[in-house]
A and B are shown apart, each in its own frame.
Chain A
Amino acid sequence: MEYVIEMLGIRKEFGSFVANNNITLQLKKGEIHALLGENGAGKSTLMNVLFGLYQPEAGEIKVHGKSVKITDPNVANELGIGMVHQHFMLVENFTVTENIVLGNEPTKGGTVNIKEAAKNIKALSEKYGLDVDPYAKIEDISVGMQQRVEILKTLYRGAEILIFDEPTASLTPQEIKELIEIMKRLISEGKSIILITHKLNEIMEVSDRVTIIRKGEGIGTVVTAETNPDQLAELMVGRQVEFKTEKTVANPKDEALNIENLVVLDYRGIEKVKNLNLTVRKGEIVGIAGIDGNGQSELIEAITGLRKVKSGRVTLNGQDVTNKKPRQITESGIGHIPQDRHKHGLVLDFTIGHNIALQTYYKEPISKFGIIDYKKISNKAKQIIEEFDVRTGHGETTLARALSGGNQQKAIIGREVDRDPDLLIAALPTRGLDVGAIEFIHRRLIEQRDKGKAVLLISFELDEVMNVSDRIAVIYDGQIVDTLNANETTEQELGLLMAGQSKSKAAMKGDE
């Protein structure tokens, strides 16, 4: 069998930290090869080596059987290797075409020939069923579309081998379905794909083989048809993983959060939350189920004080917190795991230690009279890093930027849970986390509940909402259209409600 790519015995170090040790990955022509490993296992690092962003300390890379040195991404491009990164690299106020040609603009008489490029891009887009408008601006298109632009970018540069780093982490279920179709299409056109994902069902569905790495070490490669999710999880984590977190029946007490007739506008002044009512009690987890864009972001931002409330009332423990400042709201007992960890959750240029102190740096015991005791910050950070198993290269002094995506998320969760808030708002808390970490986070959320705290969970994944919540509030078009008990509903019923079907209809269909 001929391999298009062979990475043999790859080793990559960051200072004294070994991120990849003796990893071997062989990609056959026309296959989808999954790369599986815990957060911080070294998947992105390995792919960055293949893409020429990092130079390995040891090992060999062969392309079509020939040994090569990939010194930078341009070399990778020439070898036909393209990468769709975990975090997109697009210029927001440029058009699709401008983004795609950026770096090798087609010129005609000294000026960029955008028309020609747009035509080619349109053709490519049609060939692979991507349905991208070459003249749309990046800031105006959805995350799923932006990802397709990234895919087009690699195809436009003639990629034969495509690397996808967690492409589904930020997509809606519908978009995921479409992406899987696109990948199959790419394969049928003769491309080969390396796919990083934490979602085992996706691996089972699309991949041909799976290579597993654990803590930087290559564990081996298995054929997908000969394995199952349980085995994969065990290979990757090194122990058995519970997919469904066990929990006792909730024992809800007084109201923690109460929202009455809430109206919130988005940044364009359009009503996104419309007369919304919701209650979360102490000792229960309420999950908000809904399709992205139905007002979830605006709702959370309004509760946490990041966005003005137009009308209505938000009370926490009976205390009115409507339109209070974020700090007042935080101090009255709200913890918030934000949806976008790079935008709100972290100061990427701070160390992870400073990020862990982001909500407490001004309070005793960390600071007194406006002077920070950095020793206390380090100690606190060490404790949280330990407790939440945040894998860092150099402990609490590592820059947040240098952490793997999943470990950044664990640090944020650690920071918020450690403050032991009366109400914990968790927005997509497990996005980008491995199955082991997801299990851990779910247990921590349930633990908070069992301690008598209230938890509000927002997730686009029905599995997660159904698994973790006690009650499920379905949001559609800025309103809670129904609230159901988690153990009395079905995925179909929720799906229909989320799509805006009325309650009775949904119940009828659910019974069918």
Chain B
Amino acid sequence: MSNRAINILVPIISVILGLIVGAIVMVVTGYDPIKGYTALWNGIFGDIYTIGETIRQITPYILAGLAVAFAFRTGLFNIGVEGQLIMGWAAAVYVGFAVEGLPKLIHLPLALLAAAAAGAFWAFIAGYLKARFSIHEVIVTIMLNYTALHIANALIKSWSGKERTENILPTASLGSTWLEEITEYSRLHWGIVIAIIMVFIMWFILERTTLGFELKAVGFNKNAAEYAGMSVKKNIILAMTISGVFAGLAGAMEALGTFGYMAIRSGFTGIGFDGIAVALLGANTPLGVVFGASLFGALKFGATNMPNAANIPLEIVSIIIALIIFFVASGYVIRIALEKFGKKKEGN
């Protein structure tokens, strides 16, 4: 089987398997799978409003997925997208409400930039520690997730003295009355355009630039990269930092688009972690990530319609969604198995 065929087949099969097992769970627990899936469908594509909301939901998933995928392609495992996203969220909100008197043309880009920089800095720490002291990025990024969560909470308190920050100024908002109007007043915002631009940027960096060439070479074979005069350390740090830019922007989507503020959280948003599955589902390619994010965003959002429209309790819904994700993840295992097998065959 060609690589391309595998890339396309694996996710499709895993989603179908997930849906089938999800249906079995519904039958076993005494719910009607047809009704359940109809509700899910309607929750995603039911009307213009739900479509608008679905797209809104997909937006941060795209960016989180890009962050994970970019790191993967350069041989790194960025588990810290969640923390980078939270830092990005906090930075964007702060610039959004605290910097006054700027026109939108400057204020909005400034807020986005702040988010990107915050995410990048958070990821840079992990990249630096890996390059300088060979500390594994997985461990560092996991710890940095918690650090980010608590720092953000502390910042929110110190900024506002309350449980949540002020709202951002309209000049920093991604919101669009036009997009809201054409989607029957969903919360759809311009973030999706930024996400799509970033999809293109990731493709461009990896497939067209010398930087991407180096990052991939270092990811595949450090020794050969070093032999060819590339700086392994510099590239590890850069790869992580760029990954963090994507993650930080994912936070900006929540800060400047969906919510317009940041509230103290007791736990993670989950978007960063789902980004891992999104990237895997998308085979770590930019376009694949769009596909993976669409599936995730759609499921997550559409599922909220299942308790209302089909009387399926939220717990069961979560199980079904988790099953689909599970099959996607094991699809990845299948892929690895297929590729390993293929590689063995290719070796001489």
**What is the CB-to-nearest-CB distance from A89 to chain B, in angstroms, rounded to a whole number?**
9
Across the interface, B220 reaches (CB within 8 A) one of A343, A348, A371, A374, namely A348
**What is the CB-to-nearest-CB distance from B158 to chain A, in angstroms, rounded to a whole number?**
41
Chain A residues whose C-beta falls within 8 Å of the C-beta of B226 in the assembled complex: 306, 326, 344
**Chain A: number of interface residues, binned into ranges:** 35 or more
**Contacting pair A371 B228 (CB below 8 A):** no
The stretch of B133-141, B185-193, B210-218, B307-315 in contact with A is B210-218
Q: Name 20 extra pairs, CB < 8 A, besides A347-B224, A362-B210, A370-B210.
A: A45-B348, A48-B345, A85-B347, A85-B348, A325-B229, A326-B227, A336-B227, A338-B227, A344-B227, A347-B221, A350-B220, A358-B217, A358-B224, A358-B228, A362-B213, A370-B211, A371-B208, A401-B346, A401-B347, A404-B348
**What is the CB-to-nearest-CB distance from B221 to chain A, in angstroms, rounded to a whole number?**
5
**Contacting pair B209 A371 (CB below 8 A):** yes
**Contacting pair B210 A87 (CB below 8 A):** no
**Contacting pair B225 A86 (CB below 8 A):** no
Chain B residues whose C-beta falls within 8 Å of the C-beta of A53 in the assembled complex: 344-345
**Contacting pair A48 B348 (CB below 8 A):** yes
Interchain CA distance A32-B272 in the complex, whole Å: 60
**Contacting pair B213 A372 (CB below 8 A):** yes
**Contacting pair A344 B210 (CB below 8 A):** no
**What is the CB-to-nearest-CB distance from A453 to chain B, in angstroms, rounded to a whole number?**
20
**What is the CB-to-nearest-CB distance from B152 to chain A, in angstroms, rounded to a whole number?**
35
A-B contact pairs, 23 of them (CB 8 A): A44-B348, A85-B347, A306-B226, A326-B226, A326-B227, A326-B228, A327-B229, A330-B229, A336-B227, A343-B221, A344-B223, A344-B224, A344-B226, A347-B217, A347-B220, A349-B221, A361-B210, A370-B211, A371-B209, A372-B208, A372-B213, A401-B346, A402-B346
**What is the CB-to-nearest-CB distance from A361 to chain B, in angstroms, rounded to a whole number?**
5
Chain B residues whose C-beta falls within 8 Å of the C-beta of A325 in the assembled complex: 229, 231
At the interface, yes or no: A232 with Cβ under 8 Å from chain B? no
At the interface, yes or no: A399 with Cβ under 8 Å from chain B? yes
**What is the CB-to-nearest-CB distance from A164 to chain B, in angstroms, rounded to a whole number?**
14
**Contacting pair A306 B343 (CB below 8 A):** no
Q: Could you mark each residue 45-78 of chain A with 1 if its beta carbon is under 8 Å from any beta carbon of chain B, else 0?
A: 1001000011000000000000000000000000
Interchain CA distance A361-B217 in the complex, whole Å: 11
Q: Could you mark each residue 341-378 of chain A with 1 if its beta carbon is under 8 Å from any beta carbon of chain B, else 0?
A: 00111111110001001110110000100111010000
At the interface, yes or no: A493 with Cβ under 8 Å from chain B? no
Interchain CA distance A421-B262 in the complex, whole Å: 59
Interchain CA distance A327-B343 in the complex, whole Å: 31
**Contacting pair B348 A326 (CB below 8 A):** no
**What is the CB-to-nearest-CB distance from B3 to chain A, in angstroms, rounded to a whole number?**
10
At the interface, yes or no: A6 with Cβ under 8 Å from chain B? no
Interchain CA distance A325-B226 in the complex, whole Å: 10
Interchain CA distance A345-B227 in the complex, whole Å: 7
**Contacting pair A370 B209 (CB below 8 A):** yes
Chain B residues whose C-beta falls within 8 Å of the C-beta of A327 in the assembled complex: 228-230
At the interface, yes or no: A165 with Cβ under 8 Å from chain B? yes
Chain A residues whose C-beta falls within 8 Å of the C-beta of B346 in the assembled complex: 399, 401-402
Interchain CA distance A165-B348 in the complex, whole Å: 9
9 closest A-B pairs by beta carbon, nearest first, are A327-B229, A44-B348, A344-B227, A358-B228, A326-B229, A349-B220, A362-B210, A347-B221, A347-B220
Chain A residues whose C-beta falls within 8 Å of the C-beta of B231 in the assembled complex: 325
Chain B residues whose C-beta falls within 8 Å of the C-beta of A374 in the assembled complex: 208
Chain A residues whose C-beta falls within 8 Å of the C-beta of B208 in the assembled complex: 371-372, 374
Interchain CA distance A105-B251 in the complex, whole Å: 50
Query: In chain B, residues 334-348, which have Cβ atoms closer than 8 Å to a Cβ of chain A?
Result: 343-348
At the interface, yes or no: A405 with Cβ under 8 Å from chain B? yes
**Contacting pair A361 B347 (CB below 8 A):** no
Interchain CA distance A87-B343 in the complex, whole Å: 14
User: Contacts A358-B217, A371-B210 given: A87-B347 contact, CB under 8 Å?
Assistant: yes
Chain A residues whose C-beta falls within 8 Å of the C-beta of B220 in the assembled complex: 347-350
Q: Using CB atoms, name the residue of chain B closest to A325.
A: B229
**Contacting pair A347 B225 (CB below 8 A):** yes
**What is the CB-to-nearest-CB distance from A20 to chain B, in angstroms, rounded to a whole number?**
13
**Contacting pair A54 B227 (CB below 8 A):** no
Chain A residues whose C-beta falls within 8 Å of the C-beta of B228 in the assembled complex: 326-327, 358-359
**Contacting pair B213 A354 (CB below 8 A):** yes
